Amino acid sequence: MPIRWSTSKVSAAMDMAEEFVGQAVEPLEQVRIVAREARNIPHLPQYVDQHLTGLIMEIDRAIGGSQWEPVGRLRSRIKSIRDSLPEKAIEAEREKAKAGSQQSLI
């Protein structure tokens, strides 16, 4: 039975999703840098330092890379979607697209 949905579109969507997840990591790393620098502000009260430390720890957990952290879980979900796509269907769809579309004579 032929596949009626576009595997290559799903694959392209996962490429885009993976790119956006990667783009989310850099701003979080920047926040971590700023929070670490803020901890060096002279005469910083301990309760503020604790909040900054908590922020740094949350960022470390988020971008740590393990499948249990948010970014790692997102990457794992994207991979599972890719793995579920029928590879032969993706290849067939790409070959069909390369050949161009033909109008049916029927």
The Cα 87–Cα 45 span in angstroms is 57
- Of the two residues 69 and 13, the one the predictor is more confident about is 13
Q: What is the mean pLDDT of the chain?
A: 86
Tokens 């926040």 locate to 31
Tokens of 79: 């991979």
Map out the domains of the chain as residue ranges. Answer: 7-85
Express each pLDDT in 49-91 by its tens digit.
999 999 999 998 888 766 567 888 888 999 999 999 888 887 7
Average pLDDT score over residue span 10-37? 93
pTM of the model: 0.68
> Is pLDDT of 104 > 60?
no
